[in-house]
Amino acid sequence: MKKVINNFSKKVGHKIKVERTKKDLTQEELAYAANISRSSMGLIERGESSPTIETVKLIADALKIDVYKLFIFD
């Protein structure tokens, strides 16, 4: 089960990074807009930290996208 969660965290983190780069934002800029630390943003994007749904919502709002889009994987 841990491997499944870890894989999911990596997919969400990658999706956040993809959406961030589409908007031409740095990790620091997105972290500031989402009111989280830059180091936390880095951990989330690398899949080394599993963000709460509240944090994912803050990130989606900062990216100006619907939260569900962070859970659609190509």
Q: Tell me the pLDDT of the chain averaged across its residues.
A: 94
The answer on pLDDT for 5 being more than 90 is no
- Model confidence over 34-61: pLDDT tens digits? 999 999 999 999 999 999 999 999 999 9
How far is it, in rounded angstroms, from Cα 37 to Cα 26? 13
The answer on pLDDT for 3 being more than 80 is no
The answer on pLDDT for 19 being more than 90 is yes
How far are the Cα atoms of 3, 17, 31, 69 from residue 66, in angstroms, in the given order?
27, 15, 17, 6
What CATH number is given for 2-71 in this structure?
A: 1.10.260.40
Helix (H, G, I), strand (E, B) or coil at 70: helix
pLDDT exceeding 70 applies to what percent of the chain? 93
Mean pLDDT on 17-42: 98
